């Protein structure tokens, strides 16, 4: 992989990872257009590893929140009164809410890495899940904030998150934000919860791929130099995207994203149907 392709894929990952538009879908179509075999073990690993850059951007952006939540959670381990702190509850919620995606990821690893990367599945998931997001986004009773998060809420959002790797066009952020809206959290809180639940899941997935597929990434067709460049670029771009998204959702619905998802699903289906890009 040349450095120009690495930079381009890093930009795509950084922009789309946290937007409810499917980063995997975007990466797959761009990788195919650039001539790469997205079904290869090396390309699958590359796609997972460069997500780490975006997730580290989220860690940096939410560092104060993370420290506060971890501190409250640790205090709750030894102090009964501290367990009533909403941040302690949120800490448990993030831990327990991350379990479903880990279980699904291990049980359906082969399906996720091969079959689920079909452009037909991505196109269908983009369009179908847009209807789900629209139903969630039209709710008018979004009266819950971050202090109202329960462990049950986090588990439900975690189950929604587990759908994303099985049907990548759904989008992890699209799934978790939808779940948050259905649970009556306001848009900013639903989006922040999406970030918090995504950090451990995606860091673990990227680290696992980096270790288990080290030799495949080292293959000359990809290479660690290109992978590192794409990861760094994705982190820089993702940081700016996070700041923009939180500001955007504070005063806007997700309508624009839904229109884009449906249009993208149509484009991907057309490309696959005409043979312009192998499905």
Residues in Cβ contact with 183 at an 8 Å cutoff, skipping those fewer than 6 apart: 144, 153, 156, 157, 190
Backbone angles phi, psi at 277, to 5 degrees: -135, 135
Mean pLDDT of the residues in the chain: 87
Q: What is the DSSP letter of 144?
A: B
Has residue 114 got a pLDDT over 60? no
- Mean pLDDT (whole number) for 134-140: 91
Which of 71-80, 199-208, 218-227 is modeled with the greatest confidence?
71-80
Has residue 209 got a pLDDT over 90? no
With beta carbons less than 8 A apart as the criterion, state whether 22 and 16 touch: yes
With beta carbons less than 8 A apart as the criterion, state whether 225 and 43 touch: no
With a pLDDT cut of 70, the percent of the chain lying above it is 92
Has residue 8 got a pLDDT over 70? yes
What's the confidence (pLDDT) of residue 279? 63
Cα Rg of the chain, angstroms: 18
What's the confidence (pLDDT) of residue 116? 59
More confident residue, 40 or 132: 132
What's the confidence (pLDDT) of residue 228? 92
pLDDT band at 177 (very low <50, low <70, confident <90, very high): very high
- Mean pLDDT (whole number) for 175-191: 94
Has residue 220 got a pLDDT over 80? no
Q: Quick one: CA dihedral 250, 252, 258, 264, positive or negative?
A: negative
Whole-number Å distance between alpha carbons of 98 and 103 = 9
Backbone angles phi, psi at 141, to 5 degrees: -105, 40
pLDDT band at 261 (very low <50, low <70, confident <90, very high): very high
Distance of CA 77 to the CA centre of its chain: 30
pLDDT band at 165 (very low <50, low <70, confident <90, very high): confident
Residues in Cβ contact with 180 at an 8 Å cutoff, skipping those fewer than 6 apart: 157, 189, 190, 191, 193, 194
More confident residue, 253 or 111: 253
Cross-strand bridge partners of residue 185:
144
pTM, full prediction: 0.87
Whole-number Å distance between alpha carbons of 193 and 66 = 12
With beta carbons less than 8 A apart as the criterion, state whether 229 and 87 touch: no
Identify the three-state secondary structure at position 97.
helix
């Amino acid at each position: 992989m040349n450095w120009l392709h690495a930079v381009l894929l890093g930009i795509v990952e950084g922009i789309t990872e946290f937007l409810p538009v499917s980063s995997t879908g975007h990466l797959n179509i761009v990788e195919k257009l650039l001539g790469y075999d997205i079904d290869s073990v090396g390309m699958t690993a590359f796609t997972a590893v460069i997500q780490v850059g975006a997730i580290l951007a989220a860690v940096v952006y939410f560092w104060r929140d993370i420290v506060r939540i971890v501190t409250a959670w640790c205090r709750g381990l030894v102090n009964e009164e501290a367990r009533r702190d909403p941040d302690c509850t949120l800490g448990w919620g993030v831990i327990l809410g991350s379990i479903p995606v880990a279980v699904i990821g291990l049980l359906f690893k082969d399906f996720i890495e091969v079959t689920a990367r079909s452009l037909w599945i991505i196109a269908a998931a983009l369009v179908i899940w847009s209807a789900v997001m629209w139903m969630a986004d039209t709710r008018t009773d979004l009266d819950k904030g971050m202090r109202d998060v329960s462990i049950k809420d986090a588990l439900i959002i975690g189950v929604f998150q587990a759908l994303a790797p099985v049907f990548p066009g759904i989008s992890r952020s699209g799934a978790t934000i939808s779940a948050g809206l259905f649970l009556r959290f306001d848009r900013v809180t639903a989006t922040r919860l999406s970030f918090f639940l995504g950090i451990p899941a995606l860091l673990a997935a990227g680290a696992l791929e980096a270790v288990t597929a080290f030799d495949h990434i080292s293959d000359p067709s990809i290479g660690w130099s290109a992978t590192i460049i794409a990861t760094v670029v994705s982190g820089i771009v993702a940081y700016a995207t996070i700041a923009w998204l939180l500001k955007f959702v504070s005063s806007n619905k997700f309508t624009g994203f839904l229109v884009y998802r449906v249009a993208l699903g149509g484009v991907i289906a057309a490309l696959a149907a005409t043979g312009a890009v192998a499905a």
